[in-house]
Amino acid sequence: MDAFASKPFEGNPAAVFVMDAYPPDRTMQLIAREMNLSETSFVVPEKGKPGHFRLRWLTPSTEVDLCGHATLAAAKAVFEAGLGSDPEGIVFHTRSGPLSVSLDSQNPALICLNFPSEPPSPSTSDSSLLFSSVRILWSQPQTHIDEKF
C-alpha cells in the first residue's frame, strides 16, 4: 500500500498482511525483512469483536511501537477488504494502545486516524547537551547494524 498518495508508486509504502492469526514472531520478522520496507503491518481480526483488530508493525530488523503510515495502509487494506463495515469505524489494538480509525463522513475516500498523544511538558534536560550530541552524531561515519537472523 502507498500511504499519503492517490495513485501507485507515490507516497510512503508499507506492506500489509491481513490474516486469521499471527505466524511466529521469527516468521513475521523474516517477512518484514523480505519486504524490505520501512514497516510491514500485520493485522489480525479480534475474535468475537467485529471492527476490532490486533495490529503489529515490523521493520526489516525489529518490531516498533507505533507507525503512522503503516497504520494508514493497514486501515486502507481492512476497509478495501470489507472487514471494516461499522459506520463508527474500526479499532486497532497495538503496543501503543487502541487506535481508532474511521472514514470521513463528508469524503469516505479519506481515512481519519486517532493517535495517542501526550501533552507537552517542560524539559528538565540541558539543551546544550542535546545539541552537542547531534553534532557528534552528524560528524560520525555511518555504520551498519549486524543482522540478528
Q: Which residues are catalytic?
A: 39
Quick one: cell of 114?
486517532
> How far from the centroid of its chain's Cα atoms is residue 55's Cα?
8
Which residue is listed with cell 523480505?
A: 34
Task: Identify whether the C-beta of residue 4 lies closer than 8 Å to the C-beta of residue 12.
Answer: yes
Task: Identify whether the C-beta of residue 84 lies closer than 8 Å to the C-beta of residue 74.
Answer: no
CA angle (13 as vertex; 7, 17 as ends), nearest 5: 105
- The values of phi and psi at residue 131, to 5°, are -65, -35
